[in-house]
Amino acid sequence: MNFNEPTIDYAGIAPLIALTVGLCLVLLSAVFKPFKRSAPVMTTTTLFISAGLLIERWGEPETLITGALRLDDLAIAISLIAILTAVFCVLFSIRERATEEAGSGEYHALLLGSVLGMVMLTQATNLVTFFVALEILSIPLYILCATNLRREGSLESGLKYLIVGSIGSATLLYGMAFLYGGTGSTNFTGIADGIARNGLDGDPLILIGIAMATVGLAFKVSIAPFHQWTPDVYQGAPTPITAFMAVATKAAAFAVFVRFFDVALGSQLDIWQPALAALAAISIVVGNVGAIGQDSLKRLMGWSGVAQAGYMLGGVVVVSEAGTSSLVFYLSAYAFMNLAAFAVIVARERETVFGDDIRAIRGLAAERPLLAWPLTISMLALAGLPATAGFIGKLYLIEALVEGDYTWLGVMIAIGTMISLAYYLRVVAAMWMRPEGGVAPGATPVIAGASPEADPVDSDAGRRWYLVGPAILAAAATVFFGVIPQPLVEFASHAGAALFG
Amino acid sequence: MSSALLWAPLAFGLLGLFLPRRAAGPWAVLGTLATLGIAIAVVAGFDSGNSGLQHVVDEPWISGLGVDYSLGVDGLNLFLLLLTAVLWVGGVAFAALREQERPKTFYFLMLVAETATLGAFLAQDLLLFVLFFDLMLVPFYFLFGAWGYDRSGEGGLTASRATMKMIIYTLIGSLLMLVAAITTAIIAADGGEITFSIAELAQQGIGESSQRWIFWFFAAAFLVKMPAFLLHGWLPDAYRAAPLPVLLVFSGVLAKVGAYGFLRVVLPVFPDATVEFQEVVLLIALASILYGSVMAFTQTNVRLIAGYSSVAQLGFITAGIFALRADGADGAILQMVNHGLVVAPIFIIVALLLERTGSEDIREMGGLALRAPVLAAMFLIVALATLALPGSANFIGEFYILNGLFQEKIVFAFVAITGVAMSAYYALRLYQQTMHNRQPSERDQGLLSREISLRDGLVLAPLVLCILALALYPQLILERTAPTVEQTVAKVKRGDAPDAQLAER
């Protein structure tokens, strides 16, 4: 057996290199006093550089490192979503307690590490890079969840995420082993060829592999019934990290989800398509029902994320260009909607004594209209009301589903959306409408596990540019792409064409 | 022209956000007046012999998904657009004469609502229609919830709960409609290029079995909006919670969007299902007439009397449409305008009564005619129009509807006629109890004048004048709507023979 030295296109992996170098520099900056305060700036710069390097490759798909990675428009699109989210996360982290407790340099280096994993994951076309990237993504997040050192909830969240995440990874790895055992290849295309060559159509080996890989991935994107960790971890983690996890992790995991299933397992469509459709439906119902009555906004966003993952899984179920495009569109819209909401949650968490409880936003429309409008737009968009990107996203998804003969899943999305109104509008009502019956007098604040240090950290947080700015920006993007969706549709359809073009 | 009409209110609304608080009201009135001006220009420039679309705008909007920004005016929507523009002037002007909390947001939302409503009427693309149909709800959600009345003290719901109920009811219908619209387009495209253009969908047609379930997805959305009997659960709470100037436009216009949807979308695109389910819808319509009428003359809250009478009237309108005859549908359109024009003044009068007597309960009112003769006179005109006194345009509208129904389904027509009789009862009861019927226990002694103020009169009088004008010359509407209506109904009639239609494809 000859060993062929792989030809490495350094320009192609430049974004990854940039992130790695940035990561090291940020980590080192913590050691040298003059640079102590520069971690956020350095992180942002790194993110922008790698985003630029990625955009430069737009429209020129290329296979890197002998088929281990593939830098195509799908990978770039999802990476950009992850990087954008990370930039927002850096802004949200300014003056965040967790950043100070864990050390700014370490915190930001971990964040960059996770982004590195994500960018790699979106490009992964090989089981090995797939798994390695997933771990690079996850391990920093386990730590980041627990960075709020003095809060029990944060530590609990980190530990819980570590355990559940490891189980997910292990399951996935086990599934991969089966697939490799059956097909003798770790490459996605190699697996597809192997299934055909070895006559493994519907073979138990492949079935077990698919099932376990599905479960492992479902853990990562929080699809029900593998979602139980989501509300707890979301609530316990520092809010900027919650925002990052909610959007970026989901985006990156969906990228590999769709690539893995469509490229490697495309021939086994009949087996996994109904199963994924069922998972999507379960997720829609469980997520939406679970979110009803949640008083913690972060938990609410967690449950809503479960439901939204169910919607997006629809884009994976119909193996088509339209499906993948709609998935990318929805992920982009989802990023804007969620980031707007989290910006407001972060601001109110620091400003009021209520933490992330829904009481923190009561009367917000009168008190802080500049925060109330973004959160309102975000909630309406998540509920899929028109003139927001959320509506177009649902339209796109349902159109793809109906075209792919999954009309019933489209109806499920509509039903799920109806249920979701009950909790999204409750948030809106809290901001705009008179409180119902007022707060029970004398009752000790029962903020189900929310931040126990219930003193306002920064009573002016609702006016800080780094919170109000992102909130308005994300909300404006949500409305803009709801009214003029064409640019984002084109962006998404380029990405979708990468797998099928 | 269509685009100008559509976006004018929104443009004024956005600019209004940058004005000082005190200017917000007058500015919004100006915005609605400008919109009314454009609407009048559209009506004036309308070619009444033409059954097709006029002032057409058709640009690709989301080309990847087959959605076009496509607007147009024809006989079906012409006067509903005008009605929208007129009532919004009334509602906003009436609000502007009073103090509003957070006025900038209030008027902004009012104007957004106008754009959304006009959009639902103007849209010629099915998806655009669904979009505006859903969008209408958003501003009203805030207007009802944040500016509405808390009724929890009177055994009712708080404003936010009442609004939530309304939203959930109406969105259940319209979300299913979204799926139905997409499915329609995909089935009609049959693997080809997807289009949502209503005209093209009507031409391409879809199979009968798909029509059956898609029909009900659309019908559910429209019947909830009206609301029809059994789907009206949101109405009492929402009507009691709503601020009156908002309720004026809501009751006057939004209910009609549902009825209009049948004419614009359901009849042309699902002709087979329409014929098949004609009697079912007629039954629902009759039930609405009877139920609405009975409720209207047992309620004592003035808003609810008006609300339930709307249920009955919309029942009439639905019956007219589902007579599936040109005269019935003509009558339905005329009646939509008529009903909008009578219900709006009623809510203004309710607001004035509330200010004068401090109550919305007719048992606590009475004897106002003496002290407010002008107000009483205007109310009398409105009441008589409501009960469709011969000579009013409402009479002509109901006559056309019943005529159509008689020709088609005589049994249904007989039942519907009882609705006419009952409307006389509730309209007269409403007038009598509030204006005459002086109570023995006068709460305020002394014969103070409770007359309508000149400024309020300037809002109310034009609406009453519209009623009078239409009574004198209903042809204004009928001759412009007839060509389009005939064409729309003729298409359904062809649908009587589905085999022939399929063979044609």
- The predicted-structure confidence for B396-428, as pLDDT tens digits, reads as follows 999 999 999 988 888 888 888 888 888 888 888
| Dist. CA B139–CA B151, nearest whole Å | 21
Complex ipTM, two decimals? 0.89
Mapped onto helix, strand or coil, the DSSP state of residue A90 is helix
pLDDT tens track for A110-129? 999 999 999 999 999 999 99
Total domains present in chain B:
1
pLDDT at A453: 46
Residues B404, B408, B412: CA angle, nearest 5 degrees: 90
Buried-state track A314-325, b at ≥16 Cβ within 10 A, e below 16: bbbbbbbbbbbb
Mean pLDDT of chain A: 89
| Dist. CA B377–CA B336, nearest whole Å | 24
- The answer to whether A135 faces chain B, any CB pair under 8 Å, is no
Nearest one of A148, A142, A130 to A166, comparing CA atoms: A142
* Cβ neighbours of A422 in B, within 8 Å: 164, 168
| Dist. CA A7–CA B500, nearest whole Å | 66
| Dist. CA A189–CA A180, nearest whole Å | 12
User: What DSSP element (H or E) covers A70?
Assistant: strand A69-71
pLDDT at A456: 63
* Phi, psi of B68, deg, nearest 5: -110, 150
- Other beta carbons within 10 angstroms of residue B4's beta carbon come to 15
| Dist. CA B359–CA B328, nearest whole Å | 39
**How far does A394 lie from chain B, in Å, by closest CA?**
9
pLDDT tens track for B190-233? 878 889 999 999 888 888 888 999 999 999 999 998 888 888 88
* Cβ neighbours of B131 in A, within 8 Å: 386-387, 391
**How many helices (DSSP H) and strands (DSSP E) are in chain B?**
24, 2
Residue to test with chain A: of B179, B190, B206, B210, most A Cβ within 10 A: B179
B73 pairs with which residues across the strands? Answer: B54
pLDDT tens track for A40-76? 999 999 999 999 999 999 988 888 888 889 999 999 9
pLDDT at B369: 79
Nearest one of A169, A102, A171, A119 to A139, comparing CA atoms: A169
A277, A406 Cβ separation under 8 angstroms: yes
User: What percent of chain A clears pLDDT 90, i.e. is strictly above it?
Assistant: 68
pLDDT at B151: 84
- Other beta carbons within 10 angstroms of residue B342's beta carbon come to 30
Query: In A, residues 286-325, which contact B (CB 8 Å cutoff)?
Result: 325
| Angle between helix A297-317 and helix A250-259 axes, rounded to 10 deg | 20
Mapped onto helix, strand or coil, the DSSP state of residue B62 is strand
Mapped onto helix, strand or coil, the DSSP state of residue A352 is coil
| Dist. CA B20–CA B148, nearest whole Å | 24
Query: In A, residues 365-384, which contact B (CB 8 Å cutoff)?
Result: 365-366, 369, 380, 384
| Dist. CA B448–CA A255, nearest whole Å | 75
Which residue has better confidence, B159 or A392? A392
| Dist. CA A53–CA A49, nearest whole Å | 6
Mapped onto helix, strand or coil, the DSSP state of residue A148 is coil
Mapped onto helix, strand or coil, the DSSP state of residue A406 is coil
Rg for chain A, CA atoms, rounded: 22
| DSSP label of B412 | H
Whose tokens are 């797998």? That residue is A499
How far apart, in Å, are the Cα atoms of B131 and each of A60, A392, B98, B182? 36, 10, 32, 12
- The answer to whether A489 faces chain B, any CB pair under 8 Å, is yes
User: What percent of chain B clears pLDDT 70, i.e. is strictly above it?
Assistant: 95
A391, A396, A436 ranked by CB distance to B160: nearest = A436
Mapped onto helix, strand or coil, the DSSP state of residue B323 is coil
User: What percent of chain B clears pLDDT 90, i.e. is strictly above it?
Assistant: 44
B434, B365 Cβ separation under 8 angstroms: yes
For chain A, the domains span 270-437+458-501
**Position B494 confidence tier, pLDDT thresholds 50, 70, 90:** low
| DSSP label of B125 | B
Count Cβ atoms within 10 A of the Cβ of residue A465 and give its class: 0-12 exposed, 13-18 middle, 19 or more buried.
exposed
A396 pairs with which residues across the strands? Answer: none
Torsion of CA B217, B220, B225, B230, to 10 degrees: -170
Name the residue range of residue B236's domain.
2-440+447-504
